[in-house]
Amino acid sequence: MVRLDLSDRRILVTGGAGFLGRQVVEQLHQAGANPEKITIVRSRDCDLRLPENCQKAVDQQDIIIHLAAHVGGIGLNREKPAELFYDNLMMGVHLIHAAHQVGVEKFVCVGTICAYPKFTPVPFKEDDLWNGYPEETNAPYGIAKKALLVQLQSYRQQYGLNGIFLLPVNLYGPEDNFNPNSSHVIPALIRKVHEAQQRGDKQLPVWGDGSPTREFLYSTDAARGIVMATQAYNEPEPVNLGTGYEISIRDLIELICELMDFEGEIVWETDKPNGQPRRCLDTERAKQAFGFQAEVEFKQGLKNTIDWYRQHADAL
């Protein structure tokens, strides 16, 4: 398998200061990229929704790794669907177009599992991506990201842009977003249990009925997969990044409670949404195409995340 030599490439990482971005930058270093040739774009310094900012950002770059996203859990998706659609679509569309205009060597776009149809045969195969409408809560975000796949494929066909599209499953790990207004399920539940313990609560309210299943990918595994694809994958078809391990929300919260020594009662708030019924990816394409397999065992990754949160909870 021929791998792209990163040592002399100028690499732009949008969202490079974020939860996943920091891990991707570290994996780029480990893969031989020159730290002095890696540029990180932060949202507070550069609004990528504006085409002129995208043009400045991609100038003189060889590789673009687009991680920047306006993203959150079910609560944020229900509260701000228009913002999630607009912000993610505009960032990606302008950035891909600008990359084409300056002739970058490669564009790596990180999509979302929310792009899959609500009802998809499990495990999700990449070929099923267009076989239905996404789960309604996540649809604005998922469709905005999925549109970027179409853009990359059409720009490849017409302009020869080498753009690839990756579909990571739900991520988790130390340094995740633990803000209760925008966090995903694992950090949200860890914080909820911790705060219940601090208050001495005997009950723990959790959204939904616990029946949906999810798959989770540790942040360092995800970053490693993204860098491996950057080096070795050059095809138009999207690629899943996951573990193939599926766990129900009920089993997840019970495992978190066990690891955190919380012995209270879980109260299911069945008037709140469940989200997509099942999520689990077929990971064979990533394994065959560029040799990626997840390495971090879920319980260990969860323990690492809990330990990190407990050490930093007072500052979050």
Annotated binding site: 15-21, 145, 168-171, 184, 192, 207, 214
The predicted structure's pLDDT at residue 224: 98
Annotated binding site for substrate: 192, 207, 214
The predicted structure's pLDDT at residue 184: 85
Q: H-helix or E-strand containing 298?
A: helix 298-312
The predicted structure's pLDDT at residue 43: 84
**CATH no. for 11-172+216-243+278-295:** 3.40.50.720
* Per annotation, catalytic residue among 86, 116, 133, 141: 141
pTM of the model: 0.94
Catalytic residue at 141? yes
Contact 28, 10 (CB under 8 A): no
Annotated binding site for NADP(+): 15-21, 145, 168-171, 184
The pLDDT tens digits along the chain (316 residues) read 789 999 999 999 999 999 999 999 999 999 999 999 999 998 888 999 999 999 999 999 999 999 999 987 777 888 999 999 999 999 999 999 999 999 999 999 999 999 999 999 999 999 999 999 999 989 999 999 999 999 999 999 999 999 999 999 999 999 999 988 878 899 999 999 999 999 999 999 999 999 999 999 999 999 999 999 999 999 999 999 999 999 999 999 999 999 999 999 999 999 998 887 888 999 999 999 999 999 999 999 999 999 999 999 988 8
List the chain domain ranges.
11-172+216-243+278-295
Taking the C-alpha atoms of residue 185 and residue 76, their distance in angstroms, rounded to an integer, is 12
Taking the C-alpha atoms of residue 120 and residue 131, their distance in angstroms, rounded to an integer, is 8
The predicted structure's pLDDT at residue 8: 97
Measured over all CA atoms, what is the biggest interatomic distance in the chain, rounded to whole angstroms?
A: 61
